[in-house]
């Protein structure tokens, strides 16, 4: 859903092979999976379930060396549920939930959150290896993943409140921002993922 070609182009620019597919055999045997996405959480989950992509992802992750990166909506889909279009269960790979930005505390807050924003990260994350703390990445979203103490390697961004900008949890990682649209810092992050 959405930003498939720009992600594939960034991966190819880094010298890796990129295959855009819904073929469950290809997905279940892939060493590196990227789940990008723009649009509706509910609709994306319907497509994933209808095509058994959820099962193929789990099959790939059953191999301990395989990795998954969710981008934007793709990161949100890795969580347990979203309030978008009514409560919709996600893939449940991490326990965090997704909710909509509200501007109740600051009426000047623009929704959706669009543009380059600073991301704060810890020094011990593979995704951000060699990337200075508080580097800027490109965001475009109205929903965000809530911060909880239940996942590791969390990077944060602030838009009215702090939210999960990225995370690393074992084989599964996610970025709310679009690394493929975040210039050199985004390409460095994708390179780190592909070399992890």
**pLDDT per residue over 16-27, tens digit each?**
999 999 999 999
Q: Rounded CA gap, 148 and 178, in Å?
A: 22
Q: Is the pLDDT of residue 1 over 60?
A: no
Q: Is the pLDDT of residue 116 over 70?
A: yes
Of 141, 159, 168, 180, the active-site residue reads 180
Q: Rounded CA gap, 108 and 90, in Å?
A: 31
Domain ranges (residues) in the chain: 4-194
Of 72, 113, 157, 168, the active-site residue reads 72
At residue 127 the predicted structure's pLDDT band, cuts being 50, 70 and 90, is: very high
Q: Is the pLDDT of residue 75 over 70?
A: yes
% of the chain at pLDDT higher than 90:
77
**Quick one: average pLDDT of 40-62?**
95
For the 4-194 domain, the top CATH level (class) is: alpha beta
Whose CA is closest to 170, among 123, 140, 135, 126? 126
What pLDDT is attached to residue 147?
A: 87
What pLDDT is attached to residue 43?
A: 92
Q: Rounded CA gap, 39 and 73, in Å?
A: 7
What pLDDT is attached to residue 189?
A: 97
**pLDDT per residue over 82-112, tens digit each?**
998 888 999 999 999 999 988 766 667 888 9
What pLDDT is attached to residue 16?
A: 93
What pLDDT is attached to residue 104?
A: 63
CA end-to-end span of the chain, whole Å? 25
What pLDDT is attached to residue 123?
A: 73
Compute, in degrees rounded to 10, the torsion defined by CA atoms 145, 150, 156, 161: 60
At residue 148 the predicted structure's pLDDT band, cuts being 50, 70 and 90, is: confident
Of 17, 159, 178, 195, the active-site residue reads 178
What pLDDT is attached to residue 37?
A: 82
Mean pLDDT over the full length of the chain: 91
Q: Rounded CA gap, 169 and 166, in Å?
A: 10
**pLDDT per residue over 159-174, tens digit each?**
988 999 999 999 999 9
Active site residue 157: no
């Amino acid at each position: 859903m959405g930003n498939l070609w720009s992600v594939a182009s960034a991966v190819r620019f880094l010298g890796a092979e990129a295959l855009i597919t819904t073929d469950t055999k290809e997905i279940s045997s892939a060493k590196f999976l990227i789940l990008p996405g723009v649009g509706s959480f509910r609709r994306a989950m319907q497509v994933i379930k209808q095509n058994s992509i959820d099962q193929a992802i789990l099959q790939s992750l059953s191999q301990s060396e395989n990795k998954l990166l969710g981008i934007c909506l793709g990161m949100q889909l890795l969580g347990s549920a979203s309030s978008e279009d009514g409560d919709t269960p996600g893939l449940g790979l991490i326990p965090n939930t997704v909710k909509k930005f509200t501007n109740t505390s600051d009426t000047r807050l623009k929704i959706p959150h669009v543009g380059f924003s600073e991301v704060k990260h810890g020094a011990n994350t593979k995704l951000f290896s060699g990337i200075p703390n508080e580097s800027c990445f490109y965001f475009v979203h109205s929903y965000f993943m809530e911060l909880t103490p239940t996942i590791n390697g969390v990077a944060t961004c602030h838009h009215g409140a702090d939210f999960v900008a990225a995370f690393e949890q074992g084989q599964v990682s996610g970025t709310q921002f679009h690394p493929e649209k975040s210039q050199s810092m985004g390409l460095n992050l994708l390179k780190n993922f592909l070399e992890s």
